[in-house]
Amino acid sequence: MTDDKATKIVVHADERIAQINPNIYGHFAEHLGSCIYDGIWVGTESSIPNESGIRIDVVEALKKIKVPVLRWPGGCFADTYHWKDGIGPRGKRPVRPNIWWGGEENNNFGTHEFLQFCDMIGAEPYICANVGSSTPQEMMEWLEYLNYEGDTTLTRLRAKNGHREAWGFRLLGIGNESWGCGGNMTPQYYANEFARFATFANYPGSFFLVKIASGANSDDYDWTRRFFETISGRACGCKQSRLPLLRGFAFHYYCGTAGTATKFNEAQWYELLEKAMRIEEILVRHRLIMDDYDPQRRIELICDEWGTWHPSESSNPAKKLQQQSTMRDAMVAAISLDIFNRNADKVTMANIAQMINVLQSMILTDGPKMVITPTYHVYEMYAAHQAGASIPVRIKTTKISTKNKTLDAVMGSCSLKGNKLTLSIVNIDPKKYADVDVEIRGAGESSLTRWRVLTGDIHGCNTFDDPDTITPVDKPATDRKLLLDPASINVLTYELGNS
Ligand code: AHR
């Protein structure tokens, strides 16, 4: 039953990488398909239980995974969005075509509804401003509406629309995918646009804004270099650097096209996991370029869209980007979150795409029905890592030879909060158990207090009729010798004696 070669895991509890920013466990919701409408917003008249139009079942489920931050309104949609369309009495809001994702946008879910939703689930809002088809003026007015505390026409309008107080909103994205749907800009052009918008985001009441640039598409390192070359002033040999305007740089990375969401073979299981693992090299290479321009490492690396993007299984255009989430997607989530944890000294936010009904979602809905996906369970199990200190973990394990590469069978990450150590480890082999020996160094006595496992058939998924096919179970937490199930995601909790 076990493989002949054992896996040895050494946790260095007396070393630190950095604190894991909880925002690494962030999410993204766009006006796309039924992510917002039906997924979050059903309206006050709906027979689906809601609070001020927001689904209660979804809110309750999301509270359990401790969503730290939510990005909105896009995605591509953000660069067509005009915030004033989404305030005031709902019946009077304009209806416009959704040029990226089809259908019409009735604007029933706008600024107030989004911020209320964030409040209900306990998430910090991260708003992406329209750069591609708008002006700094429109962004400034939105910031005034959100954050200004004085008495102005816009703050009076805010009060009239039901919110007297300023929100004190903090995380501002300046455009989305500027190299593509955000305006097909060159990195040099976008760097200048970024600086222009970021300058005017220094609006009274908004001095504390964290300004985040739209970064490269996956491994486009050239884009990153040219952006930094321009914004730092090196390209023009200028003395003036505009780097101080920038606090975060956000790249995107999707993996997919290895079969479909539910139809894939074992080779495609590995192919997708291998693509997921690539994010480590990608973020390391982006950070190396950033180090060249920002040697003090003041600028944070963010991945504000990531996840699986499978070829569509639906003929309905409205559901084109809606996909099932199987055990394979859960494995992608676990591998990626472990990579972000291990790079916590540079990566400060990551937003999986997307929260509900779109791509690698946490939740699927159909009218009043709701089901939580295997990916959701990974977020719930891994929530223990949020705000912990990332601890180095070295793993010696068996190798798996795939068509393209040799992969480690077991990988993971570790964090420490007080005397509670959380070790997450995956066994990617869909057939073999992994015999694992865990050694915790530099912490005196330690005892395993809990072992949770998410496992199942590699095609296993949760459906409305069968919602608990893939669900975590507890295993007896006995000693350091562990036998990991094939295709399993494991979260181990240890109590340390001398932390
Ligand atoms: O998440 C779906 C889309 O993917 C987003 O709108 C866009 O930013 C990206 O290309």
Which residue owns the Cα nearest ligand 1 atom 7? Answer: 75
Tell me if 250 CB under 6 Å of ligand 1.
no
Instruction: Tell me: do 366 and 395 sit in the same domain.
Output: no
Three-state secondary structure call for residue 283:
helix
Tell me if 29 CB under 6 Å of ligand 1.
no
Alpha carbons 127 and 77: distance in angstroms, whole number: 12
Residue listed under structure tokens 């809001």 = 93
DSSP letter, residue 6: P
Rounded to 10°, the helix 221-231/187-200 angle is 50
| 3 has a pLDDT exceeding 60 | no
Alpha carbons 173 and 49: distance in angstroms, whole number: 32
CATH code for the domain of 197: 3.20.20.80
Q: How far is the CA of 399 from the centre of ligand 1 (A)?
A: 34
Q: What is the mean pLDDT of the chain?
A: 96
**Predicted pLDDT at 204:** 72
Q: How far is the CA of 30 from the centre of ligand 1 (A)?
A: 8
Is 438 inside a domain boundary? yes
Instruction: Tell me: do 363 and 443 sit in the same domain.
Output: no
**Predicted pLDDT at 478:** 77
Query: Which atom number of ligand 1 is nearest to the Cα of residue 182?
Result: 8
Nearest Cα to 329, choosing from 351, 307, 302? 307
Domain-ending residue, one of 320, 353, 386? 386
Tell me if 74 CB under 6 Å of ligand 1.
yes
Instruction: Tell me: do 106 and 232 sit in the same domain.
Output: yes
Alpha carbons 97 and 49: distance in angstroms, whole number: 28
Mutational pocket test of ligand 1: of 27, 28, 30, the residue with most ligand atoms within 8 Å of the beta carbon = 30
Tell me if 304 CB under 6 Å of ligand 1.
no
* β-sheet bridge partners, residue 407: 400
User: Confidence class of residue 499 from pLDDT cuts 50, 70 and 90?
Assistant: very low
Tell me if 353 CB under 6 Å of ligand 1.
yes
Per-residue pLDDT, averaged over 476-497, amounts to 90
Is 466 inside a domain boundary? yes
Catalytic residue among 141, 177, 193, 229: 177
User: Confidence class of residue 480 from pLDDT cuts 50, 70 and 90?
Assistant: low
Instruction: Tell me: do 375 and 406 sit in the same domain.
Output: no
* pLDDT tens digits for range 19-46: 999 999 999 999 999 999 999 999 999 9
Q: How far is the CA of 76 from the centre of ligand 1 (A)?
A: 6
Domain-ending residue, one of 344, 369, 386? 386
Phi, psi of 455 (to 5 degrees): -150, 175
**Predicted pLDDT at 477:** 85
CATH code for the domain of 398: 2.60.40.1180
| 2 has a pLDDT exceeding 90 | no
Instruction: Tell me: do 406 and 364 sit in the same domain.
Output: no
Count of domains forming the chain = 2
Alpha carbons 112 and 227: distance in angstroms, whole number: 34
Which residue owns the Cα nearest ligand 1 atom 3? Answer: 75
Instruction: Tell me: do 406 and 306 sit in the same domain.
Output: no
Tell me if 30 CB under 6 Å of ligand 1.
yes
- % of the chain residues with pLDDT over 70: 98
| 479 has a pLDDT exceeding 70 | no
Is 103 inside a domain boundary? yes
Is 240 inside a domain boundary? yes
Nearest Cα to 191, choosing from 171, 222, 213? 213
**Predicted pLDDT at 205:** 72
Is 363 inside a domain boundary? yes
Is 1 inside a domain boundary? no
305 classed as catalytic: yes
Question: Do 132 and 79 contact (CB within 8 A), yes or no?
Answer: yes
Domain-ending residue, one of 330, 359, 386? 386
* pTM, rounded to two decimals: 0.97
Domain interval for residue 449: 7-12+391-496
Instruction: Tell me: do 343 and 431 sit in the same domain.
Output: no
* pLDDT tens digits for range 253-275: 999 999 999 999 999 999 999 99
Instruction: Tell me: do 423 and 349 sit in the same domain.
Output: no
Q: How far is the CA of 414 from the centre of ligand 1 (A)?
A: 30
Instruction: Tell me: do 364 and 437 sit in the same domain.
Output: no
177 classed as catalytic: yes
| 4 has a pLDDT exceeding 90 | no
Nearest Cα to 467, choosing from 393, 359, 378, 376? 376
**Predicted pLDDT at 5:** 63
- The residue type found at 118 is C
* pLDDT tens digits for range 126-173: 999 999 999 999 999 999 999 999 999 999 999 999 999 999 999 999
Query: Which atom number of ligand 1 is nearest to the Cα of residue 78?
Result: 6
Instruction: Tell me: do 358 and 432 sit in the same domain.
Output: no
Instruction: Tell me: do 306 and 404 sit in the same domain.
Output: no
Q: How far is the CA of 193 from the centre of ligand 1 (A)?
A: 20
Q: Tell me how far CA of residue 417 lies from CA of 344, 453, 491, in angstroms.
A: 15, 21, 15
Q: How far is the CA of 292 from the centre of ligand 1 (A)?
A: 29
Is 2 inside a domain boundary? no
DSSP letter, residue 39: T
Instruction: Tell me: do 118 and 166 sit in the same domain.
Output: yes
- Residues of 51-90 as b/e, b for ≥16 C-beta within 10 angstroms? eebbbebbbebbeebbbbbbbbbbbbbbbbbebbebbeeb
Is 230 inside a domain boundary? yes
| 498 has a pLDDT exceeding 90 | no
